[in-house]
Structure 1
Amino acid sequence: MKKVERETQDGVRKLGRRGLLLAGIQLGVVTTLALRLRSMQLEHAEEYRMLADGNSIKIRLLPPARGLIHDRNGLVIAGNEQNYRVTLTREEAGGEVEPVLRRLSRLIPISEARMAELLEEFSRRSAITPIVIADRLTWEQFGSIAVNAPALAGVTPESGLSRAYPRGGDLAHVMGYVGPVSDYDLSKIEDPDPVLMLPEFQLGKIGVEAKLEEVLRGRAGARRVEVNSAGREMRELGRQEGEQGATVQLTIDARLQNYAAQRMGSESAAAVVMDVQTGDLVTICSSPSFDPNKFVRGISGPDYRALMNHDHRPLADKTVQGVYPPGSTFKMVTLLAGLESGLINANSRFFCPGSTEVGGRRFHCWRRGGHGTMNAIQSLEQSCDVYYYELSQRIGIDRIGAMARRLGIGVRHELPMSAVAEGIAPDRDWKRQRYDQAWQIGDSLNASIGQGYVLASPLQLAVMTARIASGRAVAPRLVRAIDGVPQPIPEAAELGLDRTNLNLARAGMEAVMNGGQGTARRSRIEREEWRMAGKTGTSQVRNITAAERARGVVSNEQLPWNRRDHALFVCYAPYEAPRYAVSVVVEHGGGGSTAAAPIARDILLFALAGGLPPLDAVPSDQRAALEERHNAMQLYTPEPPKPGRTRA
């Protein structure tokens, strides 16, 4: 009996201990749950409430600030300006955007035509893609939308940056412009950066803006926002700023570019100024120009048609895209090819009676009565065509073509600009491959004076001149520094031309400017320390028939503008210690000595003087006209550059 009682008591004690243990475990679990519940309800209540609403935390990309572009002196030539806009996302508007647009139109003007455009765009785009409803809003409009945003499902007022070009058309062809990303732009990119999907994100379209797009774009930031079940943005929870694009410094001098643009005026023309030693393009200006700001903001139909229909082609960059028969500016190429061949020297002479007959065809000199006996220097000074007709028959086109490419013609120079042309430096193989025809002796005669198949851009003519002046294979460059880090200047190799031959060509160019019968003597520089060497050129754009020659060639002034000859001029200075090489082409300008040479001389003087040149640098009978021209100009007088942030 006692044994049974003892076993019963032991069982009760064991059951009590197990009960206590189980109760303790239960209490621990309950306590843990209570603490967790307390944490969820008090400490993380907001977070879980937002999660419970379903996708109520959104991550939105922040477009990065586009990198600035400076000129060689630190002046901003492409910057950013504040832009207020409003976007609408169809998904966050509940799928119905028209009612929201109607309510929004009470705050900002939205025409019926614009309403139709927006509805069509919403039908094409993804429901999660924000669409820009309006931009460049006033502060009052932006504030009104911001106040009413909670009642406008899917509407987001945004403050961002938009590209701006403070120098307008001065640098339009160099800089290019930016514009909204199109479907065509995206189709050309294998793996598009998500930032390109942002509404109205601006992408480089042409020029430096396009060629250096990845450098200038920067990296997107992000912000975490709370939206309610209706898709309305309630508040911002966090933000990580993006990384601004790199600051790019070009070799261009904005003041000289401005002067060149005004000096060319309304002419259809191009001017290039190149540093002879470094290859820096100090000016590369095409005229007439256009305002790139209009493309950033969305150019109107009438404005665009006016540019497209203009006979001077303002949208074309004549400096690198335009190729022209170089005319007599090419004669240094033919002369150097002859000198280097050893078939002629400084004392070799040819007689010019006014024409040469080859294969039953007569090739005329520009001077109808001829020049008489010419040596090398005189042939350049007076630009005798017959001298080069005779020379080309002796040396052949292959030598001429090889020398042209050596001096930079017929070569595509790598620059961050759009559609840089290669030009043509023809030879026998070129014609066979291009036309499946044999080269003719008449082709050589035409090519020897820069006509026929020969084509060169103003950029290439500046390179040619710089190489003759320096004796080195100097190459053009446009980017001086990125984020304050100077870009390397490639060491230019020697051209490998005999120094005596180079000096002979230079002496001929000097005689063009300063010789008693120089074709550009009126455009000479009077100051000895800036003495200039140059060469005029005139290229025909029409054939002159034998009948017209018999009755008298019609002057350019009597012809319609688009049938007149192109005027060309190349030069460098100072003659003894070359610093700058210049080329100028005036489309349908007539003669190189009258139309192109005065422009090139004045631009070169501005570069040498670092501003408006002294009047005594030009012949005395031209000083009053030069002063009057300068007084009529509205020259760029920039403020001192302000220190700016870079990523270096």
Structure 2
Amino acid sequence: MKRSPADIEKSARFITRRGLILGAAQLGFVGVLAGRMRYMQLEQADEYRLLADRNRINIRLLPPARGLVFDRKGVLLAGNEQNYRIVMVREDAGNPEAILERLGKLIWLEPAAKARALGEMSRRSPFVPVTIADRVSWDDVAKVAVNAPALPGVFPEMGLSRFYPMGADFAHLVGYVGPVSERDLNRTEDPDPLLQIPRFQIGKTGIEARLEPVLRGSAGTSRVEVNAVGRVMRELSREEGVPGASVQLTVNHALQNFCEARVAGESAAVVVMDARNGDVLSLASAPSFDPNLFVRGISSKAYNALLEDPYRPLPNKATQGIYPPGSTFKMVTALAALEDGLIASDDTFTCRGFIEVGSRRFHCWSRGGHGRVDLLRSLSESCDVYYYELAQLVGIERIAAMARRLGLGVEHDLPLASVAAGLIPSRSWKLENGRGDWMIGDTLNATIGQGFVLASPLQLAVMTARIASGTQISPRLVLSIDGVEQPVNGLEPLGLDPENLALVRQGMYDVVNGARGTAGSSRVVAEGLRMAGKTGTSQVRNITAAERASGVTSNDDLPWERRDHALFVGYAPHDAPELVVSVVVEHGGGGSTAAAPIARDVLLAALYDDVPPLSAYPATQRNTIRSRFDNLDLRPPQAPSRGRSQA
């Protein structure tokens, strides 16, 4: 059918309109595309250039050198040593499992190294280097470098590892470092990207843990150029991190070594403090362990041996251990009574070897009794009955208040992972803890440091320092940080009557130097260095009436874990106190026989700043003392050090 001219004209107009629409659409598309290309090429050129550089340049974190730890004389306690390690970057390796197989044919890898490395890679970002082998030899480094083309993503690097030159001497005090664990990451809000680096080491215990922010430092960065397969071609720039601060402690390394050696073979704790400013000169806990084992990776067998040791080498007994203070607590009760004017120095009580309160009999350690006893004799001969009588006059609330005033039942502020608060009981404490009403027997037990009363060796040292100085002295463990001295606290007066303090000090002097003092065999004969102190023996078992009737079993005849704890606190010189000491020997038996001799040796070593001379001891004891010192495992004197390279 032939189309009319009108139809042809109408069709032409329609086609022309459609062509115009299509042409406009194409033109618009081209315009948008051109605009987008202009935007990307000109306005976003810098951004895309940076993205291209990121494909060619990697930025890696550089762990900083950890801050060093020194003793008060500048001797290194915790330092850094250079070591080589082999690391792998997952995104550069391609097939990590295959690469690890090749690597294992070149150098020795721990059996679990492959599984551990793959696990860490799966948890970390693909660009984060994961340590495959640590502390490798130079020969291993050379093997990896030579075979680099066959080991994409694997490269050796040099780093720093922690080391402790004093070994076990400062394990509890300085502590140790270890790799960041998932548990560490989960319990911290620290955003520091360093913590994301696999096997980056942080403080786990002791000073290392509590001063972690100070010791860690801040990360540096390294910009490296890589080729198409991720192989590092060259380092473009490097900005070193800021090393951690150096920390100087108040402790004396030689004295700490002497204390550790002196209590070797015991389960014990020794604390030595400066009575004038609170500086902790020694904080020893025995037995100890080598912290370097934890840095390098302790075996399960070695760790289980530490856990299963009945002498408990892992806890710091000096600050974490809490014990009934026994008769070392009697100065607290005496001062509470004196300050309230409830007794005078010449008031006496009669000791018949026991006292009956209600239907219960409370015994003195002396089965036959002490007869008429005044305050000075009650301390020098440690009469329990005197304090039973005193307890009924004073009451637990006054005793508890005085104990806290002297530093017991207080968590002292030291930068250690755990510092025990101990326990000073009261009526309200017993009710709140569901133990019923306070009984008079509770007061009698508390007044001689038994019952609910618990104190740490550190607290006993603070108590002794406050009695010796008459001030509210507090322990200080950090002397300076990066050369800035830390403040001394607590030099304000205690507010106790000087005459009452003088009476208690005289009683403590008689303990060691009196004719019948319980620590008479531990006296010092060197002029100007005589010691004052107090023995203590705390029971860890109940003694039945039947056993008392037949004769109390000697500690020597009991299993070790059922023997009494032995304690001693003291200071010297007695007329101008400079140093205080507290000693606890777990299950050591009597304080006079087990703890006092240790305390005397330690105080003299601190005063002489060396192994004490035999002339400081009674002539009849010098052969025994010489033999004891000859058998001590002492380190040779250490010179001040600035540590190994931090770079």
For normalisation by structure 1, the TM-score amounts to: 0.90
1:70 aligns with 2:70: yes
1:191, 1:343 → 2: CA distance? Answer: 55
Letter in 1 for 2:77: I
> Which residue does 2:576 correspond to in 1?
577
Q: Residue deviations 1:453-475, cap 9 Å, x none?
A: 00000000000000000000100
2:643, 2:123 → 1: CA distance? Answer: 41
Q: Spell out the pairing of 1:510-529 with structure 2 (5 A cutoff).
A: 510-529=509-528
2:111, 2:518 → 1: CA distance? Answer: 64
> Which residue does 1:598 correspond to in 2?
597
> Which residue does 2:61 correspond to in 1?
61
Q: Spell out the pairing of 1:165-184 with structure 2 (5 A cutoff).
A: 165-184=164-183
Q: Spell out the pairing of 1:141-180 with structure 2 (5 A cutoff).
A: 141-180=140-179
Shift of 1:119: 3.0
1:533 aligns with 2:532: yes
Cα distance change on mapping 1:485 and 1:400 into 2, 3 Å: same
> Which residue does 2:3 correspond to in 1?
none
2:97, 2:620 → 1: CA distance? Answer: 71
Letter in 1 for 2:183: Y
Q: Residue deviations 1:14-33, cap 9 Å, x none?
A: xxxxxxxxxxxxxxxxxxxx
Shift of 1:280: 0.3
> Which residue does 1:122 correspond to in 2?
121
- Structure 2: tracts of 5 or more residues without a match: 1-44
Q: Spell out the pairing of 1:159-558 with structure 2 (5 A cutoff).
A: 159-435=158-434, 437-558=436-557
Helix, strand or coil at the partner of 1:343? coil
Shift of 1:436: 5.3
2:410, 2:470 → 1: CA distance? Answer: 18
Q: Residue deviations 1:322-368, cap 9 Å, x none?
A: 00000000000000001011010101100000000112000000000
Cα distance change on mapping 1:110 and 1:642 into 2, 3 Å: closer
Cα distance change on mapping 1:227 and 1:353 into 2, 3 Å: same
Helix, strand or coil at the partner of 1:414? coil
- Structure 1: tracts of 5 or more residues without a match: 1-39, 41-47
Cα distance change on mapping 1:489 and 1:150 into 2, 3 Å: farther
> Which residue does 2:637 correspond to in 1?
638
Shift of 1:605: 0.4
Letter in 1 for 2:530: R
2:501, 2:53 → 1: CA distance? Answer: 81
Deviates more, 1:97-106 or 1:346-355: 97-106
Cα distance change on mapping 1:320 and 1:149 into 2, 3 Å: same
C-alpha contact (below 8 Å) 2:324/2:453 kept by paired residues: yes
For normalisation by structure 2, the TM-score amounts to: 0.90
1:524, 1:561 → 2: CA distance? Answer: 28
C-alpha contact (below 8 Å) 2:531/2:572 kept by paired residues: yes
Deviates more, 1:141-150 or 1:56-65: 141-150
Letter in 2 for 1:181: V
1:172, 1:89 → 2: CA distance? Answer: 35
C-alpha contact (below 8 Å) 1:50/1:56 kept by paired residues: no
1:623, 1:55 → 2: CA distance? Answer: 77
How many pairs are equivalent? 602
Measured on the aligned residues, the alpha-carbon RMSD in Å equals 2.0
1:512, 1:54 → 2: CA distance? Answer: 77
C-alpha contact (below 8 Å) 2:76/2:643 kept by paired residues: no
> Which residue does 1:4 correspond to in 2?
none
1:589, 1:280 → 2: CA distance? Answer: 28
C-alpha contact (below 8 Å) 2:325/2:450 kept by paired residues: yes
Helix, strand or coil at the partner of 1:402? helix
Letter in 2 for 1:453: F
Helix, strand or coil at the partner of 2:521? helix
Helix, strand or coil at the partner of 2:132? strand
C-alpha contact (below 8 Å) 2:80/2:643 kept by paired residues: no
1:356, 1:407 → 2: CA distance? Answer: 28
Identity across aligned pairs (percent)? 61
Cα distance change on mapping 1:622 and 1:635 into 2, 3 Å: same
Shift of 1:183: 1.0
Q: Residue deviations 1:378-408, cap 9 Å, x none?
A: 0000000000000000110000000000000
Helix, strand or coil at the partner of 1:616? helix
1:645, 1:595 → 2: CA distance? Answer: 41
Helix, strand or coil at the partner of 2:594? helix
Shift of 1:609: 0.6
C-alpha contact (below 8 Å) 2:306/2:313 kept by paired residues: yes
Q: Residue deviations 1:257-278, cap 9 Å, x none?
A: 0000000011000000000011
C-alpha contact (below 8 Å) 1:54/1:229 kept by paired residues: no
Letter in 2 for 1:409: L
Shift of 1:112: 4.6
Shift of 1:150: 4.1
